[in-house]
Structure 1
Amino acid sequence: MNTKDISMRNPHVLLLSVAVVIFSCFAVFYFWGTELTKFSGRSSEYALLEDTLSTEDQKGIAYFAFGDFSALDSDSLRVSASPWKLSTAALALAAADGELNDISTDQVPHIFRQYGFHFPERIGNWPEDLAAPELLWPLGQNVGYAKGHMLPIGVTIGNIGCAACHSSVMYTADGSPDLDRVWLGMPNGSINLEAYTQALFQAMLDYGVNTELMLAAVDRLYPETSLSEAFTLRWFILPEMKALIAKRNSEFGRLLPFRTSLAGATNGLDSLKRRLGLIPEGAVLTESIFNSVPDLGGRLWRTKLLNTGTYAIPNIDRNATIWPADIDEGHRRDLAGIIAYFTVPSMGVKTEVALTSIEPSLWITRWMQHYKPQPFPGDIDRALLPLGKQVYAQNCASCHGTYSDNLDAPELLSFPNWEGNVGTDPQRALLLTKEIADTVNSSLFGQHISARTVTSYTAPPLTGIWASAPYFHNGSVPTLWHLMNPESRPTRFKVGGHRLDLDLVGIAGIDDGEGGWLPPDDHSPWSIPADVDTNAFGLSKSGHEQEFVHLSEDQKLALLEYLKLL
């Protein structure tokens, strides 16, 4: 006998069921935004892998690629995360000019690729002893269903993960991007969070006001959506999103009160200030600084993180030289404490939630201990390598680390954690104020981070530098050749969706004779490029000039070939 038969015979059961539904709806309406209506979930892609992970290395790469860092919940949804189905529906409607019948799931990879997210067929450095992951969402968008703790509500949430910025398309022998293959840990020189957030803002302005159209688009893209989620989207998430978009539009005409990125360069400082409540209500920041995304090679050799070295391991000599024996579990755990804090500005989690991510961050450092970037895909003039190694040892190693004598795959042997001033744009360092450092130090993370103000920068290891264009902390120089020839550095160029020039080592371009480095005519960018104007605030191309004055052209050429190995 089924439930319908029972309820027909016993009207009291039917009345009780109706009463439960009515009470649940009333409770959700009444308690919305309180502890009772909190919801949380987990990354669906990581959940599919979890039972197959047997070693810390495996956990590390899997969590790096798909881990949610406890950032799929109602708290982060009000700060940085997005209601995934509504967001993709709005973007799909925008791509189809509002024509409901023209949207489909086939659009989703293209929509996200144009903002620099990857939708690959495979991950090039995925461990051979681990089952290949099922790639359900754009890499770097961790997505999962978050359900209510107390009441029958729920919503699918998407939030930025490590792989959004720290995974790259792989490159072919001519420098072309292979969109079907990515390499975890390499810098994503095309991720354009500014274009993404602005497009989402405009799509919600244009289509979010139409509840029925939005929900019809959700149903078209996600026909499996449950009644509970549809109810939550209609009556709570969508109205709250409409109100937020209208408020932001009236305040400053954009989703966030600052520019979130160029392409391949992010704005973690302003994101942190916003999360710490250090941006006045209604204020718009006009002087934002962007940080070029680095390769993760050699990052465990550091005593301090960020290009300014602002976050240091507490109770340690910040400028201590690190040797292989120093990178033990204690050192990795110290760095994991800092890495976990990055989830506060990037994913919008609360400080106490970020503390729970120290252990998975430790798994990630275990994977990073063995990480290597994609081998240089082009030709290397091996006859120049001995001279290149010598030039590096005499002119670069004291700041950027000593590498082994191996001329096939040099290994980092020591790293000096040098910091100082080589004339690069100072604004990023100067904008990190004592107020910010004190707020971090006085938080729950004060035991894991020693934050400070600085006036200079920390030299990075150069592992993976061939794929890290554009160069300098602010991404103001398109190729290593231009870096070594300061008088030839362009004033303007584009970054994002680019091809690499494997001879000059960096973004492929053509000198227009007027200070511009223009994209080649035979290459169509696969993502939305950003314009780099080195006359703009914080984007000066100056610096690191004296280091090349005394080098001959032959020495520069040899050094360029050697750097391809790292």
Structure 2
Amino acid sequence: MRRQEPPVTAVQQEARRRRWRRLPLSLLVLAVVVAGVLALAIGLPTLWRYSGESVRHYADPETHFLHGSIGSEVSGLPVRLWRVLPSLFPDVFDGGHYEVFGFLYAPGDEASRGDLPIGVGTREVRGVDLAWFNCALCHVGTVRETPDAPARQISGMPSNNLDLHGFISFLLENADDPRLAPDSVLAAMDEQGQELGWIERRVWRHAVLPRVREGLLGTRAMLAPLLAEQPPWGPGRVDTFNPYKLIQFDMDVAMLDESERIGTSDFPAVFLQRPRQGMDLHWDGNNASLQERNLSAAIGAGVTEESVDHPAIERVADWLLDLAPPPSPYRPDADGVAAGKRLYMRHCADCHGYQDGDRYVFDGERLGQVVPNEGLGVDPARLDSYTETLRRDQLTLFADDERYRFRHFRKTNGYANLPLDGLWLRAPYLHNGAVPTLHDLLLPPEQRPQAFVRGLDVLDEEKGGFVAPDCTPGEPLEEGFCIDTSEPGNGRQGHAYGTELTPQERSALLDYLLTF
């Protein structure tokens, strides 16, 4: 017997009518989905690149030091933007590239074909190649024995060329310049031959470039008030900790005591780190842990707790353990060297170790220890810039990771007695670079140059250090930067050791120091 179908209710009839009415819309949605799948198939490589992260690894440790990523790129700029900035701002770059700010290029690299400077690492983050600072930025410099000689790049010496203040100021001052608007940047990329696909172009226009400008404006709001209060750092120098306070710990200048707002000091050398384990590190000796010193420096370069690449930082640190400075090219009078060594061993070796032929001896009763500035008498600004408040804030970093949590930072009352290996490459002298040559360092402070040119790399054959002619602050120079030691933080006073010697004794001591 045939089963009788139940009667169709009014509700079921209305539902069937709605389904039929929706059929054209469903077919349209299906068509859109199919079209979308086809579009994705065409543009999939581009879209795939906008997810995930990748980084280039270098087999050679020195190449890794020069070009590798440490995780700072999240604080930096897209590689594509690095490549077009010189053409967008020809008035600043004067027809050149980043060498206008003292950046260096590795032998064989060419900025004109898109190569980035030494000290700038790259990493793809969420599909965008970003570039920012690594350790080599501050720790590779150049030397010329004569004005006509080619510049010799030396890894581990202080960067005597880099005008970091000038570069950062350029970025911040132009954060809202129309030349950084998407239309302008994309046109510059097109002119340079940087190809962008249809999808990629819209990602850059509506996401990447607006985010870059937003980041620069935010950084300007934090840093510009501080930089406005400080004398320009000049090449080879940086304010180590004040930008750290503002960027890492959300302070503003109004929260800083006036005594701590200037902390400008020279980039240090980073040769032979193994013998320095356990010494008081940084200019003020505020940490005796190489690992914490290195990680703190990486944070200063733009690394965050989330982006840090610990293996990359540790690989550089391992390489630096035994990186020796090249021997001094000076060949002073042998009798003078012998007489100078006797004076040095009597007056200086306990604090700084000593040079024995081509070998530096890391031995001294007070080597690597902090000397109270009450007796040392040098400019106190860098010492005062590191505060107890900053120390407490630093101890909160990496708090959830026992391997990297900061434990050893401390507030000191002076400056550390540093080893002097590679002394011939470290000019200008004192922690703030306020004394141009070794000859000048042995003079009474009032006889040291009040204003001189720094940022040059030609060796001074007689005085030790780099050629540093006198200058008049405010007057233009063909090259270099006129440092005025009367400016806050730039004082040339203190460290009067050796100033009481006779001229003959000072000459002999200088002969010995030239061998370091």
Q: Could you state the TM-score of these two structures normalised by the residue count of structure 2?
A: 0.79
Matches within 5 A, 1:414-493: 414-415=363-364, 416-420=367-371, 421=373, 422-444=376-398, 447-486=405-444, 487-493=446-452
Equivalence for 1:321: none
Query: Structure 1, residues 282-320: CA drift from partner, whole Å, max 9, x if none?
Result: 88998322121122234433323210111223xxxxxxx
Equivalence for 2:15: none
Matches within 5 A, 1:212-251: 212-225=183-196, 229-245=200-216
Matches within 5 A, 1:24-103: 40-42=53-55, 44=56, 47=57, 49-50=58-59, 58-59=60-61, 61-72=62-73, 76=74, 80-95=75-90
The letter of the residue matching 2:150 is D
Equivalence for 1:293: 267
List gaps (5 residues or longer) in structure 1: 1-9, 29-35, 51-57, 124-133, 149-153, 314-334
Equivalence for 2:297: 342
The letter of the residue matching 1:182 is Q
Equivalence for 1:158: 131
**Cα distance between partner residues in 2 of 1:97 and 1:534:** 27
Structure 1 contact 68–142 (Cα < 8 Å) conserved? yes
The letter of the residue matching 2:300 is P
**Residue 130 of structure 2 aligns to a residue in which SS?**
strand
What number of residue pairs does the alignment pair up?
467
**Cα distance between partner residues in 2 of 1:258 and 1:222:** 41
Q: 1:344 Cα deviation (Å)?
A: 1.1
**Residue 153 of structure 2 aligns to a residue in which SS?**
strand
Aligned partner (choices 155, 158, 173) of residue 187 of structure 1? 158
**Cα distance between partner residues in 2 of 1:269 and 1:255:** 12
The letter of the residue matching 1:269 is F
Structure 1 contact 175–502 (Cα < 8 Å) conserved? no
Equivalence for 2:8: none
Equivalence for 1:495: 454
Equivalence for 1:5: none
Question: What is the percent sequence identity of the aligned residues?
Answer: 22
Are 2:347 and 1:395 aligned?
yes
Q: 1:279 Cα deviation (Å)?
A: 1.8
Q: Per the alignment, do residues 346 and 511 of structure 1 end up closer, same or farther by CA in structure 2, a change over 3 Å counting?
A: closer
The letter of the residue matching 1:156 is D
Structure 2 contact 175–217 (Cα < 8 Å) conserved? no
Equivalence for 2:107: 121
Equivalence for 2:509: 559
Q: 360-369 or 262-271, which moves further after superposition? A: 360-369
Q: 1:254 Cα deviation (Å)?
A: 7.6
Q: Per the alignment, do residues 18 and 206 of structure 1 end up closer, same or farther by CA in structure 2, a change over 3 Å counting?
A: same
Structure 2 contact 336–508 (Cα < 8 Å) conserved? yes
Structure 1 contact 137–143 (Cα < 8 Å) conserved? no
**Cα distance between partner residues in 1 of 2:98 and 2:297:** 23
**Cα distance between partner residues in 2 of 1:207 and 1:500:** 43
Structure 1 contact 271–346 (Cα < 8 Å) conserved? no
Are 2:118 and 1:139 aligned?
yes
Q: Per the alignment, do residues 437 and 147 of structure 1 end up closer, same or farther by CA in structure 2, a change over 3 Å counting?
A: closer
**Residue 205 of structure 2 aligns to a residue in which SS?**
helix
**Residue 291 of structure 1 aligns to a residue in which SS?**
strand
**Cα distance between partner residues in 1 of 2:307 and 2:348:** 40
Equivalence for 1:536: 487
Q: Per the alignment, do residues 433 and 21 of structure 1 end up closer, same or farther by CA in structure 2, a change over 3 Å counting?
A: farther
**Cα distance between partner residues in 2 of 1:138 and 1:92:** 16
Q: Per the alignment, do residues 516 and 298 of structure 1 end up closer, same or farther by CA in structure 2, a change over 3 Å counting?
A: farther
**Residue 457 of structure 1 aligns to a residue in which SS?**
strand
Structure 1 contact 275–344 (Cα < 8 Å) conserved? no
Equivalence for 1:201: 172
Structure 1 contact 267–290 (Cα < 8 Å) conserved? yes
Query: Structure 1, residues 307-337: CA drift from partner, whole Å, max 9, x if none?
Result: 0111223xxxxxxxxxxxxxxxxxxxxx234
Q: 201-210 or 86-95, which moves further after superposition? A: 201-210
Which of the pair has more CA radius of gyration? 2
Equivalence for 1:276: 248
Structure 1 contact 91–199 (Cα < 8 Å) conserved? no
Structure 2 contact 354–420 (Cα < 8 Å) conserved? no
Q: Per the alignment, do residues 229 and 469 of structure 1 end up closer, same or farther by CA in structure 2, a change over 3 Å counting?
A: farther
Structure 2 contact 105–116 (Cα < 8 Å) conserved? yes
Q: Per the alignment, do residues 169 and 350 of structure 1 end up closer, same or farther by CA in structure 2, a change over 3 Å counting?
A: same
Equivalence for 1:307: 283
Q: Per the alignment, do residues 553 and 245 of structure 1 end up closer, same or farther by CA in structure 2, a change over 3 Å counting?
A: same
The letter of the residue matching 1:342 is A
The letter of the residue matching 1:161 is N
Q: 1:458 Cα deviation (Å)?
A: 0.3
Q: 1:20 Cα deviation (Å)?
A: 5.0
Structure 1 contact 248–255 (Cα < 8 Å) conserved? no
**Cα distance between partner residues in 2 of 1:247 and 1:275:** 10
**Residue 451 of structure 1 aligns to a residue in which SS?**
coil
Q: 1:224 Cα deviation (Å)?
A: 4.3
Q: Per the alignment, do residues 87 and 117 of structure 1 end up closer, same or farther by CA in structure 2, a change over 3 Å counting?
A: same
Query: Structure 1, residues 223-274: CA drift from partner, whole Å, max 9, x if none?
Result: 2455565333211121223345556678886897776843101112012212
**Residue 217 of structure 1 aligns to a residue in which SS?**
helix
**Cα distance between partner residues in 1 of 2:201 and 2:225:** 27
**Cα distance between partner residues in 2 of 1:91 and 1:160:** 18
